[in-house]
Amino acid sequence: MLKYICKRLAIGLITLFILSTITFFGVRAMPGDPFEQDNKVMAPETYEALKEKFHLDKPLPEQFRIFLKNAAHGDFGESISKKGKMVSDIIKLRFPVTAKLGSIAFVTSMVIGLTLGIVAALAKHRWVNSVITVISTIGVTLPNFLFAIMIMIVFAVKLGWLPIVGLNGPQYYILPVAALSLGPIASVTRLTRSSIRDVMHEDYITLSRSKGNKETRTIIVHGLKNALLPVITYAGPLFAGMITGSLVIETLFSVPGIGAEFTNSITNRDYTLVMGLTILFGALVIMMNLISDIVAAIIDPRIKLGK
């Protein structure tokens, strides 16, 4: 296990390096520069001083070397578009907001998705499965921004039950969490249902039944544990994606999170902030994938992580 973890971490670092390299040279290949608008009113001396401050006056290989050296110490420098603010401070301020919202949405998605998937797979009445199938299909096909607008109109504008701006209390989380969770709930439901149906035809399920075990025990002890493996594999990237924010949802509900910050940094050609957020997002995805693989191996010892 330890050998596998070290191997995956090494691969993760290499992946992060490749991602950083592509992003570094990619954003600098964009037309213009981060001082383009300011350059219309600032003196040439000031413009050159800013380029020197952010090392943009140096050749690209030299800029990249400086970036790697600083990034290795967790220093991403000062934001170009947000003057006087360090990238690390922006991340510390914005990321917890998005992470909290995403974590709540993730737990909601897993609990509801697993419940609906299990019920749909084991329901004896066809109409129950049909209703859940319709709900999950709508969840997969309906864009989250459209669903967000719909529930905002119904529950905030028409009924006035819930607020829609900011995250100033528990009630403020209900609508954005619902909007973020719809798609994942549908995906987890469909994945859980198909996985349970597959394992219920396995030989070990038949053997458990032949021993006289109760159907509930057979499902929980033997069936559900193995059926959850695909869901666990899916949960890692899902969690990483949800805690890194959604531009549309954060914008609609005026959430001061990291998702909108990342999009704005690209629009403003804020090289330092783009690089800091890219490394953050990449590291989260790598770690969540590793954790999901380890959990899957703990649940099913047949999975050999070392190979």
SS3 category, 80: coil
Q: What is the mean pLDDT of the chain?
A: 82
Do the Cβ atoms of 290 and 12 come closer than 8 Å?
yes
Q: Average pLDDT of 286-296? A: 82
User: Tell me, what's the pLDDT at 256?
Assistant: 84
Q: Are 301 and 230 in contact (CB under 8 A)?
A: no
Residue recorded with tokens 């919202």:
101
- What is the amino acid identity at position 47? Y
Q: What is the pLDDT of residues 206-263, one digit of tens each?
A: 777 777 777 667 777 767 777 788 888 888 888 888 887 677 888 888 888 888 788 8
Looking at residue 303, what is its pLDDT? 59
Q: What is the mean pLDDT of residues 1-7?
A: 76
| pLDDT greater than 60 at residue 172 | yes
Question: Could you give the percent of the chain with pLDDT greater than 70?
Answer: 92
Query: Using only C-alpha atoms, what is the Rg of the chain?
Result: 24
249: closest CA among 184, 296, 201? 184
Helices 87-122 and 271-299 meet at what angle, rounded to 10? Answer: 30
pLDDT value of position 42: 66
- Please report the pLDDT score of residue 77 as a whole number: 84
More confidently predicted of 69 and 7: 69
**Residue 297 predicted with pLDDT over 90:** no
Among 30-39, 146-155, 292-301, the range with the most confident prediction by mean pLDDT is 146-155
pLDDT value for 306: 52
Give the H or E element holding residue 79: none
Amino acid 39: pLDDT = 46
pLDDT given for residue 108 in this prediction: 93
Amino acid at 167: L
List pLDDT tens digits, range 64-112.
Answer: 898 888 888 888 888 887 888 888 888 888 889 888 988 999 999 999 9
Higher pLDDT residue, 146 or 40? Answer: 146
How many Cβ atoms are within 10 Å of 204's Cβ, its own excluded? 12
Is pLDDT of 35 > 80? no
- At 304 the pLDDT is 56
pLDDT at 36: 67
The predicted pLDDT at position 300 comes to 66
Task: List CB contacts of 207: < 8 A, sequence separation 6 or more.
Answer: none
Structural domains in the chain, sorted by start: 96-263 (1.10.3720.10)
pTM for the structure as a whole = 0.80
Q: Return the higher-pLDDT residue of 87 and 46.
A: 87
